[in-house]
Amino acid sequence: MKKEYLKIDKVIGPLIEMSNVKDISFGEVVDIKSSDGAMKKGKVIKIDGDRVIIQVFESTSGLSTGNSSVTFTDEAFELSLSKDILGRVFDGLGRPADAGGELYTRKKYNINGRPINPVARKYPRDFIQTGISSIDALMTLIRGQKLPIFSGNGMTHNELAAQIVRQAKLGEGANEDFAIIFAAIGVKHDDADFFRKSFIESNAMDRVVMFINYADDPIAERINTPRCALTAAEYLAFEQDMQILVVMSDITSYCEALREVSSAKEEVPSRKGYPGYLYSDLASLYERAGMLKDKVGSITYLPILTMPNDDITHPIPDLTGYITEGQIVLGRELFQNNIYPPVNILPSLSRLMKDGIGEGYTRKDHPDLANQLFSCYSKVQEVRALAQIIGEDDLTETDKKYMKFGKAFEDNFISQGFEENRDIDETLDIGWEMLRILPKEELNRINPDMLDEYYYI
C-alpha cells in the first residue's frame, strides 16, 4: 500500500529528512512531488525511529519543506527490461530518453542486483582480439573480464574505447548475440555525441543500449546510472544469452557524486574526502562482470576513469585497480608525443591473459614475447634516465640499442591508426621485429628454443 506524507523537515543537499513516518522499509523508493508539480525519485537510506533520511536522485532545488508530497512506494529501485531495450536510449535513471516511448514489459529488476555466487562463476579464458597491438599482446582482453582504462583529462581514452568497441570480436562468428551497453556518467554532451556517432558509423546502433547522465544532469542521479546499465547487462547476458560489452565513462564523476552524498550525510571521510566504503561500493559495480557456468552469455566490462592530476595513487584509480582484473593505463608523455593510443604499458596489466594466450589460444610465443617486451621496455626507461645524465653518446653499445628499441617500439608497435585493425599474428610479428633490434643475449625472458625459432627469420 502506498503511503503519502506532506511534510519534509529538512532539505540538505541531495538528502531530505522527514519524521512521523511509519512502516517504512530500508532502501524503499519514494516519489516526491514538489510544489511546482515536478516528480522526483528518491530512496530511503536511513531509518531511525520515526525519522527517515531519503536520498533524492535528482536535484533538490525547488523542493520546499511545506508544499511537497512524498509517497513511499513499498518497492526497491527497479528497472523494466525486455529485449526491446536494444537500440534505445535511457536517461541516468533508466527512463526512456528517446522517441521510442515506454517499454512494454512486466519484467522488473532491482538495480542493485545480487552478488554472484563464486561457485557459479566460470573462470574467463576466451581471448578477445581488439586489433590494438599494445592491448592484444601485452594486456590481452578476455571475455568476461573487467578491465578499466585509466586516463587523464584530455587524453584519447574515448577514441580508444570507441576503437575497441568497433573492432573487438566479441561474438566470434555468431554475430547476432552480442550487444554493447554504454553508460555515460556526468559526461559532456560532446563526448556522448562522439560515442553515439561512432556507434552509428560502425553500424552498431541497433545493438547498443545507452544510459546517459550528462555533466549538467543531477549529480545524485549518477549513483544509479551504472547500476541501471549493469542490470540491463545482466539481463541480456544471463537471461538472453548474449555477449555484452559494457563501456562506462566516467567513473570519476560517479565517485565524486558518491562523495557529495556522503558528505551531506556527514559520514566520517576516508582518503581525500571519499567515503570509507568507496571500495565496497565500486566492487558492487565491477564484480557484476563475468561469466556463469550454466549460462552462455558474458559481461565484459570496460570502465573509463580520468585520474585526477594523472595520479594513479588517487583513491579512484587505486581502489579500482584493487578490484578489477588489471588496467590499461594511458600515459601523458606518450600522448604529448602524439602517440595513439598512448598506452603506457609498464603499469598496465591484464590478470586474466595468462589463461587465454599461448599455444592453442593465440600463438605459442605470445607469453614469452610479452614478458620480454615488458622487461626490455622497462630497461629502456632506465637507459633513458641515464642518458639524460651522461648524454646519449656515452652510453654503452648495448644501451644505445635499447634507446633505439624504445623509440621503434613506441613508433611502430604501440602507435597505430584509429582505423587500423591488426590481427594477433601481425601484432606478435611486429613485436619480434622490435626485439631483433636488441642483441640476442639480452633476451633472457624467452625460452631458448623459442628464441632460436623466432629471433632469426
Ligand X SMILES: Nc1ncnc2c1ncn2[C@@H]1O[C@H](COP(=O)(O)OP(=O)(O)OP(=O)(O)O)[C@@H](O)[C@H]1O
Residues found near ligand X in the complex (CB under 6 A): 321-322, 349, 351, 354
| Strand pairing class (51-56; 15-18) | antiparallel
Angle between helices 278-286 and 251-264 (to 10 degrees): 140
Single residue of 385, 397, 419, 457 touching other proteins by CB under 8 A: 385
Q: What angle do CA 422, 357, 352 make, to 5 degrees?
A: 105
Considering the complex, what minimum distance in angstroms separates the CB of residue 352 from ligand X?
8
Comparing every residue's Cβ against ligand X, the nearest one is 351
Contact 297, 244 (CB under 8 A): yes
User: 83: helix, coil or strand?
Assistant: helix
| Shorter beta-carbon distance to other proteins: residue 162 or 285 | 285
Looking up cell 541480456, which residue turns up? 236
Longest Cα separation, the chain:
82
Binding site partner of 196, from ligand X, other proteins, none, Cβ cut-off 5-8 A by kind: none
Single residue of 295, 337, 359, 423 touching other proteins by CB under 8 A: 295
Looking up cell 556522503, which residue turns up? 262
CA distance linking residue 419 with residue 322, whole number of Å: 32
User: 41: helix, coil or strand?
Assistant: strand
| Shorter beta-carbon distance to other proteins: residue 184 or 248 | 248
CA distance linking residue 171 with residue 61, whole number of Å: 46
Contact 331, 343 (CB under 8 A): yes
Q: In which region does residue 141 sit, left (phi positive, over 0), alpha (psi from -120 to 50) or beta (all else)? A: beta
| Shorter beta-carbon distance to ligand X: residue 269 or 347 | 347
CA distance linking residue 119 with residue 100, whole number of Å: 40
Considering the complex, what minimum distance in angstroms separates the CB of residue 44 from other proteins?
8
Q: Does 444 participate in binding other proteins (rule CB under 8 A)?
A: yes
| Shorter beta-carbon distance to other proteins: residue 303 or 315 | 315
User: 275: helix, coil or strand?
Assistant: strand
Considering the complex, what minimum distance in angstroms separates the CB of residue 169 from other proteins?
22
User: What cell does 123 get?
Assistant: 573462470
Single residue of 97, 116, 204, 403 touching other proteins by CB under 8 A: 116
Single residue of 347, 408, 426, 429 touching other proteins by CB under 8 A: 347
Single residue of 1, 99, 174, 389 touching other proteins by CB under 8 A: 389
Single residue of 42, 186, 290, 431 touching other proteins by CB under 8 A: 290
User: What cell does 10 get?
Assistant: 529538512
User: What cell does 96 get?
Assistant: 526512456
Considering the complex, what minimum distance in angstroms separates the CB of residue 154 from ligand X?
27
Q: Does 22 participate in binding other proteins (rule CB under 8 A)?
A: yes
Output b/e per residue, 266-296; b: 16+ Cβ within 10 A: eeeeeeeebbeebbebbbbbbbbbbbbeeee
Single residue of 83, 95, 188, 354 touching other proteins by CB under 8 A: 354
Single residue of 94, 321, 331, 341 touching other proteins by CB under 8 A: 321
| Shorter beta-carbon distance to other proteins: residue 28 or 126 | 28
Q: Which stretch binds other proteins (CB under 8 A): 47-55, 87-95, 147-155, 164-172?
A: 47-55
Q: Is the peptide bond before 177 cis (omega within 30 degrees of 0)?
A: no
Considering the complex, what minimum distance in angstroms separates the CB of residue 142 from other proteins?
10
| Residues numbered 156-215 forming contacts with other proteins, rule: CB under 8 A | none
| Shorter beta-carbon distance to ligand X: residue 142 or 223 | 142
CA distance linking residue 372 with residue 36, whole number of Å: 65
| Shorter beta-carbon distance to other proteins: residue 113 or 171 | 113
Q: Does 315 participate in binding other proteins (rule CB under 8 A)?
A: yes
Q: Does 405 participate in binding other proteins (rule CB under 8 A)?
A: no
Single residue of 35, 82, 175, 396 touching other proteins by CB under 8 A: 396
Q: Does 270 participate in binding other proteins (rule CB under 8 A)?
A: yes
Single residue of 36, 120, 333, 336 touching other proteins by CB under 8 A: 120
Q: What angle do CA 313, 317, 322 make, to 5 degrees?
A: 95
Q: Which stretch binds other proteins (CB under 8 A): 181-189, 344-352, 410-418, 424-432?
A: 344-352
Residues sharing a CB contact under 8 Å with residue 220, sequence separation 6 or more, in sequence order: 14, 55, 56, 57, 58, 59, 257, 260, 261
Q: Does 1 participate in binding other proteins (rule CB under 8 A)?
A: no
Binding site partner of 441, from other proteins, ligand X, none, Cβ cut-off 5-8 A by kind: other proteins
Considering the complex, what minimum distance in angstroms separates the CB of residue 318 from other proteins?
5
